Amino acid sequence: MRTDSDDVSSNRSGNPPFQRVLAERFSRRGVLRGGTLAAAGFLLGGVAPNLARAASGEAGPLLGFSAVPLSAEDTVVVPDGYTATVFVPWGHPIRSDGPEWKADASNTAEEAARQFGSHHDGMHFFPLGQGPQASRNGLLVLNHEYVDQALLLSDGDEEMTQEKVDKGTATHGVSIVEVELVDGEWRIVDSDYNRRVTATTPVEFSGPVTADHPALAALDPQPRGTINNCSHGVTPWNTYLACEENFNNYFGTTDDSWEPTPEQDRYGIDDTGFGYKWFEVDQRFDIATNSEEANRFGWVVEIDPFDPDHVPVKRTALGRVKHEGAIVTEARGRVVVYTGDDQDGDYIYKFVGSRPWTELLATGRSPLDHGTLHVARFDDDGSGAWLPLTFGEGPLTTENGWTDQADVLLRARMAADALGATPMDRPEWIAVQPGTQDVYCSLTNGKAGEGEANPRSPNPYGHIIKWREDGHDNTATAFTWDIFLLAGDPAHDDAVDLDEDNMFGSPDGLWFDPQGRLWIQTDVSNSAQHDPDRGYDTIANNAMLAADPETGEVRRFLTGPRGAEISGVVTTPDQTTMFVNVQHPGEAVDMVGEPTPENPRAVSNWPDHAPDGRPRSATLVIRKDDGGVIGT
Ligand code: FEO
Ligand code: CA
Ligand code: CA
C-alpha cells in the first residue's frame, strides 16, 4: 500500500520493543556489521545441513542464476536463461465463456464476480494427478488482497454507490482455477473446480467463537465473505487457508458522535478506514450501526479447493488478528500454524494442535479447531518463549475481565499484550526450512524502536529473523533466535551487508522451495519508493531474491514493474514452473505520480501497455529455457 495503515502502531501495551531487544543482543555480541548469521559468527547449533537437498543427492551451490540489476522500468526482468510470461491478470474470466475484461474498467459487479479479482497475493498450486502429471495439471488458488478504486472504477470513487461497493467486494477474495501445461504453455481449464470466493460468499464459523456468538450478531444473519486476503497457508489434508489482514480498512462511519471502543482501537478501527467510503452507502460497513460485522473478520479462513460446494470456514481457534499468513507445519503428528500480525509493534503467533491431526480428522473434528494459540516473547539472551493464550491461565482470568476462551480469541491482540509478548517491526510472511524445521519471519519495517544508539531505530528497511524450536520440535514452548539478515542500502546504513546485486528493502513474501532456497519478495511502500529522504533513492522497483540459508548468500532474481510489490510464489512439484504474483502495478507512487480516472497510466501501464488501457495485477509463469529447476 502507498501509505501503510499498518505502519501506525495501535499497541499501547508498553511491552519492550523488539528493536531494543535486538540492539541489546547486537551490542552484547559487539557486532554491528554483517547481516547474516554466518557473518555475525553465530550459528544456532552449527551449520545445519539441508536435509531435503542432501537426501536428493544434489551437490553444488544452491543459487545458479545470474543476478538481475536494480530496475526502475515498467517491466518484469528475470535472469538470462529464464522467461516470465503473464498468466492470469485481474479481470480475466475464470471460464472461457465468462465476461472479458474491459480496459476502461466498465465491467459490472456481476461480471467481476466471474473474473479474477485484483491485487494478487498469497498463492498455492495443488497438483492433480501423480508423478510427472502432478507438475502439468493442478489447481491454482490465489488471494486478492485489496483494490485501488482509482483503477477499479472507470469514474473513480469521488461519488460512492452500491454498485461500486459490490464491484469492490466481488474483486476481493480468492480465485480457484484448474490449470494445465500444454505444449510448454500454461492455460486455464474450463473445470467444475473453477470458482470465486468473494467478500459476499456465505461462510461458516468453527472453533470456540461460534456463528451464534453475540459478538458476531451483525445485521445480516448470514455471515458473509472474506476480505483483505494477504498471505495464505496449506494444510497437510490439502485445504487452503486464506488469511484476513487489514480488515479494519473497510469500516467507518459518518456518525460524528461515534468513538471506538478500546477493542476497536486496538484493531485500528476508526471512522474513515482506508478511504474506501463503502460505509457511506452500505450499512454493512458502518461501524457505528453494525459494529458486530467487524468482528466477523480478522480470521483464518479454510477453503477446500477440491470441493466446489465447500463453504469456507473461519477457524477461530487461530485467533483474531491481522493475519499476514498461516504457515502450517507438522511436528509429533500435530499441526503447527505460524502467523505474523502485520502492524507496527504487533506480534508473532503459533497455534499447536492438541492431538495428531490424522486422529482428529478420523473422528470428524478439524485439527484447526483443537489446540492452543501462543504468542512469542523474544528475550535479550537469544532465547524465547511461546506464551499460551488460554483463558484462566496467567493474566487471562475473570478477575482481569476475560470471560471465556472465545473472548480471548476475539481480543487476541489484547490477550497477547497482557501476556508480555514482544512487539515486532511488522511481522509479515513466515517460512519453515525443509529439514531443519527452523522458522524464518520477515519483519518488513517499523519505527517502534527507541534511542539514538539503536542503528535500526527507526527501521525503514526491515530484516529477517530466524528461530529454532527446542529440539527442532515445532510444538515446543521455547526457542533460540537470531537475525538472518538486515535489509537495506549499505550507502545509507553500513550495518547492511548487501551490495548492488542483492540490496533490497522491506522484505515481505518468504517461501522455501523443496530444495531449501529461501525466496524473498519485497514490498517497499509507494510512499517511500525512490525517496532519498526515506533511504530508498537507489533500491528502485520491488523485487524477488533468493537466499541460501546456510551460506547467507542472497541474489536478485526478478524485478517488477512500477508501483508494484512482488507477493506470492510457488512452484510445481518438479520446480520447473514457478508462479509469482505482481500486485498493484501503477498504484500512486509519491515520487512518480498518481493514477486518476482520466489518466490511469500515470505510474504504470503494465502488463498490457495498451494506449487506452490501465495497469493490472497478474500472476507470472516463470520457466527456465532449458526446462530446468527454477533457481539453479
Ligand atoms: Fe498484506 Fe502485510 O502485507
Ligand atoms: Ca504482504
Ligand atoms: Ca507488506
Cβ–Cβ < 8 Å for 10, 266: yes
The reported pLDDT for the residue numbered 456 is: 81
The reported pLDDT for the residue numbered 20 is: 52
7: confidence class by pLDDT, cuts 50, 70, 90: confident
319-337 pLDDT, tens digit per residue, is: 999 999 999 999 999 999 9
18: confidence class by pLDDT, cuts 50, 70, 90: low
Q: Residues 282-311, buried b or exposed e (16+ Cβ, 10 A)?
A: bebbbbbebbbbbbbbbbbbbbbbeeeebe
Nearest CA to ligand 1 atom 1: 230
CA of 229 to the centre of ligand 2 (A): 10
When pLDDT is averaged across residues 513-525 and rounded to a whole number, the result is 98
pLDDT at 45 over 90: no
CA of 145 to the centre of ligand 2 (A): 9
Higher pLDDT, 3 or 529: 529
Q: Which one of the ligands is nearest to 346 CA?
A: 1
CA of 297 to the centre of ligand 3 (A): 19
279-331 pLDDT, tens digit per residue, is: 999 999 999 999 999 999 999 999 999 999 999 999 999 999 999 999 999 99
Looking up cell 467444475, which residue turns up? Answer: 192
Atom of ligand 1 nearest to the CA of 523: 3
Atom of ligand 1 nearest to the CA of 426: 2
The reported pLDDT for the residue numbered 39 is: 29
Q: Which one of the ligands is nearest to 340 CA?
A: 1
Q: Which one of the ligands is nearest to 444 CA?
A: 3
Pairing of strands 229-234, 240-244: antiparallel
pLDDT at 1 over 60: no
CA of 538 to the centre of ligand 1 (A): 23
The reported pLDDT for the residue numbered 59 is: 63
When pLDDT is averaged across residues 110-133 and rounded to a whole number, the result is 97
The reported pLDDT for the residue numbered 12 is: 73
When pLDDT is averaged across residues 142-158 and rounded to a whole number, the result is 98
Percent of the chain with pLDDT over 70: 91
Which residue(s) pair with 450 in the sheet? Answer: none
Q: Which one of the ligands is nearest to 342 CA?
A: 1
CA of 568 to the centre of ligand 2 (A): 9
Burial of 334 (0-12, 13-18, 19+ CB in 10 A): buried
The reported pLDDT for the residue numbered 16 is: 61
Q: What is the largest CA-CA distance in the chain?
A: 67
Atom of ligand 1 nearest to the CA of 228: 1
The reported pLDDT for the residue numbered 450 is: 35
pTM of the model: 0.93
When pLDDT is averaged across residues 141-163 and rounded to a whole number, the result is 98
Q: DSSP class of residue 101?
A: P
Higher pLDDT, 348 or 452: 348
330 contact partners, CB below 8 Å, separation of at least 6: 236, 336, 357, 474
The reported pLDDT for the residue numbered 27 is: 41
Atom of ligand 1 nearest to the CA of 428: 2
The reported pLDDT for the residue numbered 28 is: 34
When pLDDT is averaged across residues 587-603 and rounded to a whole number, the result is 97
CA of 480 to the centre of ligand 3 (A): 26
Atom of ligand 1 nearest to the CA of 246: 1
Q: DSSP class of residue 446?
A: B
CA of 185 to the centre of ligand 3 (A): 31
Positions of E strands within 300-333: 300-303, 313-315, 327-331
The reported pLDDT for the residue numbered 463 is: 95
The reported pLDDT for the residue numbered 380 is: 83
459-503 pLDDT, tens digit per residue, is: 999 999 999 999 999 999 999 999 999 999 999 999 999 999 999
**Distance, CA of 345 to CA of 93 (rounded, Å):** 40
Question: What kind and span of H or E run contains 293?
Answer: helix 292-295
CA of 441 to the centre of ligand 3 (A): 13
55-95 pLDDT, tens digit per residue, is: 455 567 999 999 999 999 999 999 999 999 999 999 999 99
pLDDT at 209 over 70: yes
pLDDT at 10 over 90: no
Q: Which residues line ligand 1 (CB under 6 A)?
A: 145, 230, 245, 324, 342, 428, 508
Assign residue 179 a region: left if phi > 0, alpha if psi is -120 to 50, beta otherwise?
beta
The reported pLDDT for the residue numbered 2 is: 46
Q: What is the dihedral of CA 148, 151, 155, 157, to 10 degrees?
A: 10
Q: What is the DSSP secondary-structure string of 556-582?
A: EEEE--TT-EEEEEEE-TTSSEEEEEE
The reported pLDDT for the residue numbered 4 is: 57
Which residue(s) pair with 624 in the sheet? Answer: 82
**Distance, CA of 602 to CA of 581 (rounded, Å):** 22
The reported pLDDT for the residue numbered 53 is: 54
Atom of ligand 1 nearest to the CA of 245: 1
Assign residue 364 a region: left if phi > 0, alpha if psi is -120 to 50, beta otherwise?
left
Average pLDDT across the chain, whole number: 92
Q: Which one of the ligands is nearest to 323 CA?
A: 1
Atom of ligand 1 nearest to the CA of 444: 2
